[in-house]
């Protein structure tokens, strides 16, 4: 299935929730951010945080690991998705597969919140 616009994204996310009987589905959309679908019917679009992409290697793994760690730490799905999006933006600005460091993630969030 080709996914191009918001209606198609929402259709695909809802189909995945239904077919997989998942609690949540998070679709990464590259420069368009992320789409979070929750089993309660909630849909959230997480705007991209990327400024300058150098390499997307490892970005998906960063999203998965950051979201998982955030949820284990008590974040809800939306908070975890937002945090994962920040983390992915950091690793995409580096060349190669790089780890996400907590201090760098905190600094990025603070800097972006101040500028928004």
**Catalytic positions, written as ranges:** 61
Give one DSSP letter per residue of 22-47, joined into a string.
-SEEEEE-GGG-EEEEETTS-EEEE-
Task: Give how far Cα 6 sits from Cα of 21, 33, 35, Å.
Answer: 22, 12, 9
């Amino acid at each position: 299935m080709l996914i191009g616009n918001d209606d198609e994204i929402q259709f695909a996310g809802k189909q995945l929730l239904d077919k997989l009987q998942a609690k949540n589905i998070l679709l990464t959309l590259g420069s368009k951010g992320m789409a979070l679908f929750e089993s309660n019917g909630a849909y959230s679009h997480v705007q991209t945080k990327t400024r300058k992409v150098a390499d997307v290697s490892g970005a998906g793994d960063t999203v998965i690991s950051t979201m998982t760690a955030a949820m284990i730490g008590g974040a809800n799905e939306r908070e975890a998705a937002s945090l994962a999006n920040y983390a992915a933006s950091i690793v995409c600005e580096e060349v190669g597969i790089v780890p996400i460091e907590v201090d760098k993630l905190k600094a990025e969030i603070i800097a972006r919140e101040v500028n928004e």
